[in-house]
Structure 1
Amino acid sequence: MIGSPSTDLTSKFALDTKGLGELKQSAKAGSPAALKEAATQFEAMFINMMMKSMRDATPQDGMLDNQQTKMFTSMLDQQMSQNMAKRGMGLADVLTRQLSANGMGAQALAIGADGYPAAAGKAAAAAQGLAPLDGSMRPGMDAATMLRTGAGQPGAPALPLTTDSGRVQAPHVRAFQEKLHVHAAEAERATGVPAKFMLGQAALESGWGKRMIRNADGSNSHNLFGIKAGPGWKGKVATAVTTEYVNGRPHTKVERFRAYDSPADSFKDYANMLSRNPRYGKVLASGADASAFAHGLQRAGYATDPQYAAKLTRIIKHSLA
């Protein structure tokens, strides 16, 4: 039997086909070490998918960008994915526990010719009797589905790892959604507006949480939705410079904004505003249509940016899971 050191592909060149062949042999022999290594390779594949998504979102039309640089960048990303997977982010451990508990070996991950394990077919998974893990996996769910939905990860929220368009979420987008989705879900119960829509608006208004309005002492106002402090507001106030559009032209102004003690309070106040202000009645009636929701907000006067609805629709449809 081939020992574990020879099957540790994370310490080798990402395109080492000899190491892949050794891993295949260990998988056929039923080596427990091979299962762990195959799971680690699956994790490397996932990390590489995230890196590819980030590369695709970055402009690549500079003077030094060409097919050759793209090829070498891709090779570098594969090697970095291998190295990062060796340190681990948890997915390999989940896969190993799940497959071991159901008597499945490394071949369940169907190691492919590209050096990364591909997803086991649904029929093969069903034949192996793949059982639910914490109620999140179902018989017949293959590894690709587990990767896409995040099923089986301890404490994982019910959020997929990819967007509706099939793109892997950027890490900062997923971190933003995971941090706030509980508050958004509560606001959804209060308003009927899908949580994803409200998360999209919070992302647009706050720059994914990176451009939060600050109080005078520099502390966070937790104003995720850019709601201003009008005459009727009795709570805390933060002052900030903002851009307003008049007849389509931008103007810089200093405005007073509402300040909250927590993100949860921000979502509650936002939900209360949508529910009680008559001008947002059509927004609440937009149902599950992201475009109708975004354009309804703009028509109701929520924002003066003429591109506000288009920006919000794009975030909801293409960035959020």
Structure 2
Amino acid sequence: MAINPIQPGLQGQSLASDTKGVDALRYSASKDPKAAIKETAKQFEGLFMQQLMKSMRQATLSSGMLENSGTQMGTELLDTQLAQSLSGRPGGLSEMIAKHLERQLGEPLANMAKDAASAQTVAATGQTGTAPLPAALQGKERQVGFLKLHDSAAKAAEAETGIPATFMVAQAAHESGWGRHEIRNADGSSSFNLFGIKAGKDWTGPTTTVTTTEVVNGQPHKVQARFRAYASYEESFKDYAKLMKDNPRYSKVVAAGNSAQGFAHGLQRAGYATDPEYAKKLTNMINTTLRLQRATA
């Protein structure tokens, strides 16, 4: 009887004492810290329940009949499975542990992000490990962390397209709400799709289907749409750069050069988004990004 370790996207299949389960939990934490906290809390509760049942059995008088190493092992495995099945229920110990951990981690948890391609994580506290943010940027920790996280990928995309890195990282911020509203896969993990690029008929890579808002005849409508999914944020920037460079629809966007307004209006004219206010919103986001970059330079 084997206890399977946690696989990426699958929770609750092993206790923290399982080495493979720990490795998989670390992987899960890098992609979705909040979900990993809940899973860790559940495993703590499972270990507690298992130890509790062990103590209860030791305190119970045994006749010694029909007992051997085989029955003892079976009992221990049964206790392990029972502990797992009893853990993670609403209102239980794991829920209390998870809430406590979330309070302890606070904003750094909410701001944590990961670029899987470079295997680097950034807790978006606005600090690089050397000096805190200046007073003028207090309260902008998430935004500063987002810009730092995607700086190198945006510059690589600039080298490919000629579009300023600031414009592209600003668009990623607009589309994802500074990372708060990333498109997620069915298992809750990030699709790393920062630009809201949909999966058309020619797309052969991974996809995820989510509910999104489209403006039709001036009215917003909720629709189900398929979006591209990537293995990393860097891959998302690379695909965006390829789209801008190779798709004839966006040739004028690339040609807009260093004009923020020209870039934003070019995207809207090319049909990048259905929101009639898209160009205005993106221009404002580019200006905000420029101010943040100047303040942190």
TM-score by length of 2: 0.52
CA distance in 2 between counterparts of 1:260 and 1:318 reads: 27
Which one of the candidate residues 256, 262, 280 is aligned to 1:286?
256
**Quick one: distance in 1 between partners of 2:143 and 2:216?**
31
The equivalent residue for 2:224 is: 254
Matched ranges for 1:101-140 at <5 A: none
The letter for the 1-side match of 2:142 is: H
- Once the two structures are superposed, residues 70-122 of structure 1 have per-residue CA deviations (whole angstroms, 9 ceiling, x without a partner) of xxxxxxxxxxxxxxxxxxxxxxxxxxxxxxxxxxxxxxxxxxxxxxxxxxxxx
Which of 247, 259, 269 aligns to 2:239? It is 269
Alignment partners' CA distance in 2, 1:205 and 1:154:
28
Pairs within 5 Å for 1:1-321: 168=137, 170-319=140-289, 320-321=292-293
Instruction: Give, in angstroms, the shift of residue 168 of structure 1.
Output: 3.6
Cα distance in 2 between the residues matched to 1:316 and 1:232: 30
1:112-149 alpha-carbon deviations (Å, 9 max, x no partner): xxxxxxxxxxxxxxxxxxxxxxxxxxxxxxxxxxxxxx
| Aligned residue type for 2:204 | K
Displacement of 1:218: 1.2
Structure-2 separation of matches of 1:229 and 1:289: 29
C-alpha deviation, 1:287, in angstroms = 1.0
Partner AA of 2:157 in structure 1: A
Cα shift at 1:288: 0.9
C-alpha distance in structure 2 between counterparts of 1:154 and 1:168, whole Å: 16
Shift of 1:249: 1.1
> Which secondary structure state, in structure 2, belongs to the residue aligned with residue 254 of structure 1?
strand
Q: Which residue of 2 aligns with 1:78?
A: none
Match of 1:8 in 2: none
Task: State the Cα distance separating 1:155 from its structure 2 match.
Answer: 7.9
Cα 1:287–1:217 shift into 2, 3 Å: same
RMSD: 2.2
Distance 1:182 1:302 in 2: 24
Aligned residues, how many? 163
* Residues 139-193 of structure 1, C-alpha deviations (whole Å, 9 max, x = no match): xxxxxxxxxxx9xx8889xxxx79xxxx647111100000001100000000000
The alignment partner of 1:302 has SS state of coil
Letter in 2 for 1:210: R
Number of the residue aligned with 1:90: none
Question: The residue matched to 2:149 in structure 1 has which SS?
Answer: helix
Superposed CA deviations along residues 218-277 of structure 1, whole A, max 9, x for unmatched, are: 111000000000111111001110000112211110000000000000000000000000
SS at match of 2:224: strand
**Displacement, 1:217?**
1.3
Encode CA deviations 1:265-305: one digit per residue, 9 max, x unaligned: 00000000000001101100111111110010000000000
Instruction: Using structure 1 for the length normalisation, give the TM-score.
Output: 0.48
Tell me the distance in 1 between the aligned counterparts of 2:264 and 2:152: 21
- Percent identical among aligned pairs is 56
Structure 1: gaps (5+ residues): 1-149
Q: Taking structure 1 as reference, are residues 246 and 262 closer, same or farther at Cα in structure 2, changes over 3 Å only?
A: same
Whole-Å separation in 1 of the counterparts to 2:176 and 2:129: 29
User: Which residue of the partner structure matches residue 27 of structure 2?
Assistant: none
SS at match of 1:242: strand
